[in-house]
Structure 1
Amino acid sequence: MSQKVVVIFSGGMDSYTVLNLACKQGLEVYALSFDYGQRHKKELDYASKACLELGVQHKIVDISAINQLIGGSSLTSDIEVAEGHYAEDSMKTTVVPNRNMILLSMAVGYAVSIDATKVYYGAHSGDHAIYPDCRPEFVHKMNDVCAIANYEAVEIVTPYLDVSKIAILTAGLEMGLDYGKTWTCYNGREKACGKCGACQERLEAFANNNQTDPLDYE
């Protein structure tokens, strides 16, 4: 009997790679996506299609009411999304307060309820500068808590925590993944903007892999 795991799946490149990695490892995967009121809700459509194609059980949970408590991010509030690379201080406006702790807590609860032993999510080194809840120290502390928060210990697994998006794309391409089936842009328009930090990092990853991004850009 294969091991059950929960994968937090946004519909973006990183979590798409993690999802496929877990599937290829022969795990029984339960994908979990969240509608937290993000302006790029379009990513959830990509998540649904990807899970359907993979034959993975998938839940999309609406927690958008939480924005009454955690506003102030350009991803969830009426604030213009900054343009530029993640290295720029302006990208801190995309931080959603306590997001990953909230999402991980719910994913761990889901894992316990279905007898899954692990929760996977796609934090990577490119996120460390801007997002505190993607840094190794956060993951390690969350693992400590999740070992004792329930009668059943749940492990937080971050396969790409110490590598860049460039390396994640390299790994995904070696798996034969089609990244045209993912959405990265923080603006939820018809085409990706190509200017926000998420787009720029994605395009940089493709350039460094000598590949052309299959997504359409404005």
Structure 2
Amino acid sequence: MKKALVVFSGGQDSTTCLFWALKNFDVVETVTFDYNQRHNKEIDVAKAIASDLGVENTVIDMSLLNQLTSNALTRSDIEIKEGGEGELPSTFVDGRNHLFLSFAAIMAKAKGIKNIITGVCETDFSGYPDCRDVFIKSLNVTLNLSMDYQFVIHTPLMWIDKKETWALADKLGAFEYVREKTLTCYNGIIGDGCGECPACKLRKEGLRKHLEEQKGGAANV
């Protein structure tokens, strides 16, 4: 029996990964991290989606991360800004994916799970260094060595852009679900979001391109 653990935030990417996991594995669980992120609604959405899809969800307290680093996702007084001139966006959280995947691996081994799934992507990754394929492969080796356990970190979205992520959700029969139920917006608005924050702009543009391709012409989103 093939089992998998999805690192799950309730956003577009991780929810698409969850549907992908449900198609490719016999038993699927999810793990969500509470790091005092800008909107606790993210945790509520993750719990709700996991419950709706009938998969177990575990929330792990990672508030220590909030104490160690300052950024727009953990501090309401820091403005959300896109990166420029070689700088990372203000939403980059140092060490987040490193810690999330490491803790997910500890949990997975305790449950006899070897497959870990994450929605990181090098195509639309805003320059985040911990979304790169080289980092994931390096960490995979490190986790295997550190616990003497053969983990496989799956990254279904690594080489596709947001348009193709929407297309994947469509292929999995989850397009409307992902569009209506997920939370990507930095301002905490479920579904299509505020339309103005960097996360919403990226999601919206990908959606527009996907719908345009499906209809063979211009699409309004």
TM class by smaller structure: 0.7 to 0.9
The letter of the residue matching 2:201 is Q
Q: In structure 2, what is the equivalent of residue 136 of structure 1?
A: 133
Paired residue for 1:184? 184
Does residue 206 in structure 1 map to residue 207 in structure 2? Answer: yes
For the Cα contact (< 8 Å) 2:3–2:25, is it kept in 1?
no
Identity %, equivalent residues: 35
Match of 2:73 among 68, 72, 75: 75
Over aligned residues, Cα RMSD in angstroms? Answer: 2.0
Shift of residue 105, structure 1, vs aligned partner: 0.5
Q: What is the SS of the residue equivalent to 2:188?
A: coil
Q: 2:157 aligns with which of 147, 156, 160?
A: 160
* Aligned counterparts, 1:63-102, within 5 A: 63-70=62-69, 72-77=70-75, 78-82=77-81, 92-102=89-99
- Cα deviation 1:114-155 (Å, max 9, x = unaligned): 010111000113344421000111111111112211122211
Say if 1:127 and 1:134, in contact at 8 Å, map to a contact too: no
Q: Distance in 2 between matches of 1:122 and 1:15?
A: 5
Asked if the contact 1:146/1:155 (under 8 Å) is kept, the reply is: no
Unaligned 5+ residue runs, structure 2? 213-221
| TM-score of the pair, normalised by structure 1 | 0.88
Conserved? CA contact 1:38–1:76, under 8 Å? yes
Displacement of 1:34: 0.6
Question: How many pairs does the alignment contain?
Answer: 207
Residue number in structure 2 paired with 1:115:
112
Return 5+ residue gaps in structure 1 as ranges.
Answer: 212-218
| CA offsets 1:69-104 (integer angstroms, 9 cap, x no match) | 12x21110220212x6x7886761110011100100
Using the alignment, how far apart are the partners of 1:104 and 1:118 within structure 2? Answer: 11
Is 1:105 equivalent to 2:106 in the alignment?
A: no
TM-superposed deviation, 1:27: 2.7
Matched position secondary structure for 2:211: coil
Once the two structures are overlaid, the 10-residue window that deviates more, 87-96 or 6-15, is 87-96
Instruction: Show structure 1 runs of 4+ deviating over 3 A.
Output: 86-91, 126-129
Tell me which amino acid in the other structure corresponds to 2:73: L
- TM normalised by structure 2 equals 0.86
> 1:194: which partner in 2?
195
* Corresponding position of 1:174: 171
